Amino acid sequence: MPAFGSFALLVALALSGYNLLAGAVALRQLATGRRGWISPERLAETARRAGIASFFATACAAFALVWAAFTNDFSVAYITEHTNRALPAAYKFAALWSGQEGSLLLWAFLLSAYGFVLRVRHKVDVKLTAYASTILAGIQVFFLLLVNVAATPFSLVQGAIPADGNGLNPLLQYPEMVIHPPMLYLGYVGFSVPFAFALGALMMRYPGEKWIHITRRWTMVTWLFLTVGIFLGMHWAYSVLGWGGYWGWDPVENASLLPWLTGTAFLHSVMMQEKRGMMKSWNVWLIFSTFLLSVLGTLLTRSGLVSSVHAFAQSSIGTWFWVFLVFCLAVCTFTYILNRDHLKTEHKLESLVSRESSFLFNNLVLLAACFTVLWGTLFPVLSEYVQGNKVTVSAPFYNRVAVPIGVFLLFLTGIGPILAWRSTSIKSIRRNFVIPGIVGLVVAIAIIPLGVHPWTIFTTDEQGAFYAWITFAMAGFVLTAIFAEFFRGAKVIQQKSGQNLLASMIQLTRRNTRRYGGYIVHFGIVLIFIGIAGQAFNQSHEQTMNYKQSFLLGPYRVECLDYSQDSNPNYDTEFALLNVYRGDRLVTKLSPELRIYAASQQPSTIVANHSTLVADLYVIYAGKDPATGQPVIKAFLNPLVAWIWIGLLITILGTGIALAPNLSAAVASQRHRVTAPEPVAAGRAGD
């Protein structure tokens, strides 16, 4: 199987290389009008088919690695390092992305899968797709070169074949780890497609905004994958790492946030190009930056440039990524300089108080957030270079610098949708802002007696309560603004159709899925902000516990019922059984664990969490007191965390709705099939 996998990777590289070269020659011939011994159309078609075939070859290689994991083929060094016999089947599958070589193979596989879809659907626009396919083939060649030369997943072990492997990192033995990395990679890799279309459109001086219409769904799906990947990572960190939080501002976490921020900016600013032919250069550079930041994130993760608890071991692979990054940047810059006259804006901003301006400021704030995260991530490297010593840039820095930017972004989330395109009148501002403004003010006052004291910022060094207070007030403002948008539209439908308000809201959403799906995404994001703001009021308690001993945390009393230990072939475990009371009422039983994995002898905490909409009671087994042998229990009371995960679900729902075609357009499309010859662009109408 290793030989088959290696061979499949070589074939994939050859096919992608052919796709790149033949595609480039064909496009050059088409552009210059010169013809070779084979027509450029036929050459381009062979290139496309080679690209499609490269997907099957890469899939074979990925299959070979998974097969080796399932059959315990410890002649493959990668399998020895990342699996063992006792590893459950689902985690053997996850071994594909648990190490450097396997994860690069996964990257190459997903890239070829995206390329496969793109090449199969080439009839959307044959010439533009040919450009995008060739550019994508270039990226494929890079990743396939990596797995063929620099980080080969099918290397064989030196000497005797071991009887068992080292096992998978215990921290990765968690259900979410089976889907978090593929989701994240689908996001990272997916941005290659809009990047390829944007670069291709610029190279061929593609007229109009059709490339944006073609890539809109690609970009949204990719953005969704990245969002889900990031949040699955957060949930995994929360559930497995056992430090009571979900985001540690670790460089690898930051690396995933960078393309997400620019991708989000692109999704907003692209509307200005579609609606008013503005910000063409800006949009092209946003999508270029998003792709380049995905590559930079991978570089940071794998080169050892920054210290991270996540990062793969230091290796020479960083040099490859540096070269690739610089090459891509040079190609983008060169293409832009050659064709920038093609990107002249058709309209200009007419008012600071307009939808366009809000998008512009939204983009500015998102990019400022992106820069802050990048700056904080790279500052230790810069400091070492300038001062000769490394500094740490961790949570306190981001809490002070990035949080205010986030709060301002939340404010813009509320303002943007209620401003009109081109210019907004004072009367309209008054009409649309008064009720959300009042609600925001009421929330700001109402939460003070609940313990949200913003003035602590003036009396202590603690800023959390102040920003939480602003966030809650802003959330009230934004949610009201969103609801008012739905209400206004639904009321009109209700008056005309006589339906109830809920049915009218559903119909309203179906008529303009992009606009109202977008609002639902905003609704989800606001809930996420509320959940994050709850962090300002976290409490914790740590205690060594004997039988029947208890402690109080917030409204809960945690009592130790028992503690014991157990073992199975994969791990030994110590655990405590805890009763949780609220007053005299038994609320739940929790059983935090500490596992020691047999293969690696590494410990891993299994968190016990009682989650409600108000707060999570998050309990970990922190070890045994060496003097008494009694368990040390650490408990956290984390308010509002559940809203983060609810917000994510709503964001997924909103994105799904925004991806669906409009009701009216779909109906029109059905009619069109029966009668009219004129094409209908389903789902293109929107806001």
Site residues for another protein per CB under 8 A: 241-245, 248, 250, 307-309, 348-352, 357, 360-361, 364-365, 367-368, 371-372, 375-376, 379, 383, 386-387, 389-397, 400-402, 405, 453, 455-456, 458-462, 489, 492-493, 508, 511-512, 594, 603, 605, 620, 622-623, 634
DSSP-derived 3-state class of residue 389: coil
CA 58 to each of CA 51, 52, 140: distance values in angstroms, whole numbers, following the listed order: 11, 10, 10
Asked whether 229 and 256 are in contact (CB, 8 A), the reply is yes
State how far the Cα of 407 lies from the Cα of 428, in Å rounded to an integer.
24
Whichever of 107 and 359 has its CB closer to another protein, that residue is 359
User: CB 620 → another protein: shortest distance, Å?
Assistant: 7
State how far the Cα of 390 lies from the Cα of 377, in Å rounded to an integer.
12
At residue 114's C-alpha, the angle toward residues 212 and 681, to 5°, is: 35
Whichever of 338 and 352 has its CB closer to another protein, that residue is 352
Element (H, E) at 131: helix 126-145
Whichever of 401 and 447 has its CB closer to another protein, that residue is 401
Whichever of 150 and 668 has its CB closer to another protein, that residue is 668
State how far the Cα of 348 lies from the Cα of 346, in Å rounded to an integer.
7
Please state the φ and ψ torsions of residue 162, each to the nearest 5 degrees: -65, 155
Whichever of 148 and 363 has its CB closer to another protein, that residue is 363
State how far the Cα of 362 lies from the Cα of 272, in Å rounded to an integer.
12
State how far the Cα of 663 lies from the Cα of 506, in Å rounded to an integer.
11
Asked whether 236 and 180 are in contact (CB, 8 A), the reply is yes
State how far the Cα of 545 lies from the Cα of 559, in Å rounded to an integer.
8
State how far the Cα of 663 lies from the Cα of 368, in Å rounded to an integer.
37
State how far the Cα of 61 lies from the Cα of 334, in Å rounded to an integer.
35
User: CB 450 → another protein: shortest distance, Å?
Assistant: 13
Amino acid at 321: F
Asked whether 236 and 178 are in contact (CB, 8 A), the reply is no
Whichever of 318 and 623 has its CB closer to another protein, that residue is 623
Start-to-end CA span in the chain (Å): 52
User: CB 457 → another protein: shortest distance, Å?
Assistant: 10
User: CB 106 → another protein: shortest distance, Å?
Assistant: 25
Whichever of 20 and 402 has its CB closer to another protein, that residue is 402
Asked whether 288 and 247 are in contact (CB, 8 A), the reply is no
Whichever of 428 and 579 has its CB closer to another protein, that residue is 428
Query: By C-alpha distance, which of 332, 330, 335 is closest to 204?
Result: 335
User: CB 328 → another protein: shortest distance, Å?
Assistant: 24
DSSP string, 28-49: HHHHH----SS-HHHHHHHHHH
Instruction: Give the single-character DSSP code of 95.
Output: G
Beta-carbon count within 10 A of 62 CB: 22
Whichever of 32 and 675 has its CB closer to another protein, that residue is 675
Whichever of 334 and 455 has its CB closer to another protein, that residue is 455
Which ranges of 614-676 does DSSP label H, i.e. alpha helix? 642-659, 663-674
Torsion 231-232-233-234 (CA) sign: positive
CA 277 to each of CA 132, 348, 393: distance values in angstroms, whole numbers, following the listed order: 22, 9, 41
Whichever of 352 and 649 has its CB closer to another protein, that residue is 352
State how far the Cα of 598 lies from the Cα of 167, in Å rounded to an integer.
9
Query: By C-alpha distance, which of 48, 114, 28, 524 is closest to 291?
Result: 114
State how far the Cα of 104 lies from the Cα of 96, in Å rounded to an integer.
9
User: CB 253 → another protein: shortest distance, Å?
Assistant: 11
User: CB 418 → another protein: shortest distance, Å?
Assistant: 15
User: CB 455 → another protein: shortest distance, Å?
Assistant: 6
Whichever of 37 and 458 has its CB closer to another protein, that residue is 458
User: CB 84 → another protein: shortest distance, Å?
Assistant: 22
User: CB 631 → another protein: shortest distance, Å?
Assistant: 11
State how far the Cα of 150 lies from the Cα of 7, in Å rounded to an integer.
16
Whichever of 307 and 567 has its CB closer to another protein, that residue is 307
Token readout for 230 is 């990031």
Whichever of 200 and 376 has its CB closer to another protein, that residue is 376
State how far the Cα of 350 lies from the Cα of 356, in Å rounded to an integer.
9
Whichever of 367 and 652 has its CB closer to another protein, that residue is 367
At residue 526's C-alpha, the angle toward residues 523 and 532, to 5°, is: 145
Q: What angle, 0 to 180 degrees and rounded to 10, lies between the N-to-C axes of helices 280-303 and 192-203? A: 140
User: CB 304 → another protein: shortest distance, Å?
Assistant: 13
Whichever of 65 and 545 has its CB closer to another protein, that residue is 545
What residues are paired with 637 via a beta bridge? 539, 617
